[in-house]
Structure 1
Amino acid sequence: MLMLEREKLARLIKKRSLKVADEPVFKLSSGKLSRYYVDLKQITFDPEGDYLIGKAMYELVKEFNPDACGGLTLGADPIAYAIAFVSLMDSNPIKPFVVRKEPKGHGMKRQIEGLLNPGERVAVLEDVVTTGSSALKAVKACREYGLEVIGVFAVVDREEGGRENIEKEGIPLYSLFKLSELL
């Protein structure tokens, strides 16, 4: 990814997604209160923002040659679709997939949706990593499906223990940005 595009993405995140307060007022999914909140849906639900994230994340994952990429719904979904589109434009298609928080209660009762086969190499995606629990839930579902998880790839690492928790499971974490770079 060109440095100019990375800088443009960083500016978009700072402008639209990053919220900063004097006191810890933002409740995170972990239940912890924080002075910082990163709402990347403000970027991924925007055509330009999703394209920039798709391009940047594709550049991050492509060297690992995944067959597919995806993660826990909803944060990872637009990222996976953007990577799929950008990868196809580069003649190197990477399939998207979605991991539900729980297996579907009807039909095929799947927890993972996508055109996947056991044994395929997958990149687990996250918009923002804090503790790593969402990523690890997706990793667990992928492994149970028989997929080989090659890493967790995030747009933002909040630097609050997620990397360590993910790496304890023998999985590397790669991120486009650390929160400290965006403050």
Structure 2
Amino acid sequence: MTSCTTAPPVLAERIAHVLLNQEAVRVQPADPFTWSSGWTAPVYCDNRLLLSTPGARNAVQQGFLAYCAGLPARPDVIAGTATAGIPHATLLADRLGTALAYVRGSAKTHGRRRQVEGRVNSSTETLVVEDLVSTGASALDAVKAVRDRKAPVIGVLAIFSYDFPEAHEAFAEAQCALHALTTFQTVARVARDTGRLSTTEYDDLIRWHSAPDSWSPA
């Protein structure tokens, strides 16, 4: 499967409200952020903030469980990406009663020199949990690490996706499914509809999304 899917609209909007209420996603076109990639962006996502509030954590887990309920079979392993995906993967594995693993950004240079920590092998169908997806590079690095252990990967399950075309292309090329609870477009629309953004600011966000590498504040 190579599709990139999103939760049903009602759930996607509910998660968007959670992210905005917890300030896990902040939108501020007049005072943009600088990403590690060097991009200037009017939006920034930090899903670590969700961990502080039980209700927010529970909303994410309910969305994750709804996705897992639609799978042909329960995953054998939930693998969280380091570091932000690990706590959400831990909560999901606990609720499903499955094994847990995590994927480092790179392999250790000492000891057993592993990138994937946990019992992951050719007989364990693995679901990778990521907190957010932008270009998809880090999530797909984790997928590759799991596949290098000969484990079949069900796909990547994320809380939030910027939904860039580059990510769709990357996941298709890797022949890996991506499912996000909510996306940039949904969060931007909810921010506008709840008065967090004016129509002009909303239009500026959409302009950024269409060309993030060349955007500058209006």
The TM-score, its normalising length taken from structure 2, stands at: 0.72
**Cα distance in 2, alignment partners of residues 68 and 176 from structure 1:** 20
3-state secondary structure, aligned to 1:120: coil
Aligned to 2:213: none
Q: Structure 2: any 5+ residue segments left out of the alignment?
A: 1-6, 189-218
Does 2:158 match 1:154? yes
**SS at 2:120's partner residue?**
coil
Compared with structure 1, are the counterparts of its residues 114 and 170 closer, same or farther at alpha carbon in structure 2 (3 Å cutoff)?
Answer: same
Q: Structure with the greater relative contact order (CA < 8 A, sep ≥ 6): 1 or 2?
A: 2
Higher strand share: 1
Q: Which has the larger radius of gyration?
A: 2
4+ long deviations beyond 4 Å? 3-8
Q: Distance in 2 between matches of 1:179 and 1:153?
A: 16
Spell out the pairing of 1:109-124 with structure 2 (5 A cutoff).
Answer: 109-124=113-128
Query: What residue is the counterpart of 1:138 in the other structure?
Result: 142
* Identity level (%): 27
CA shift digits 1:19-42 (9 cap, x unpaired): 112257323343322111111111
- 2:79 alignment counterpart: 70
Partner of 1:17: 24
- 8 Å CA contact 2:135–2:167 kept in 1: the answer is yes
Structure 1 residue matching 2:108: 3-state secondary structure: coil
Q: Which amino acid aligns with 2:136?
A: G
Structure 1 residue matching 2:176: 3-state secondary structure: coil
Task: Give, in angstroms, the shift of residue 67 of structure 1.
Answer: 0.9
Q: What do the CA deviations read for 1:74-103 (whole angstroms, capped 9, x no partner)?
A: 12101101101221xxxxx22221101111
| Aligned pairs for 1:4-153 within 5 A | 9-15=15-21, 16-23=23-30, 25-64=32-71, 65-87=74-96, 93-153=97-157
- Given the two structures, how large is their TM-score scaled by the length of structure 1? 0.85
Distance in 2 separating the partners of 1:148 and 1:31? 34
1:10 maps to amino acid: A
- The alignment yields a C-alpha RMSD, in angstroms, of 2.4
* Mapped partners of 1:6, 1:83: distance in 2: 18
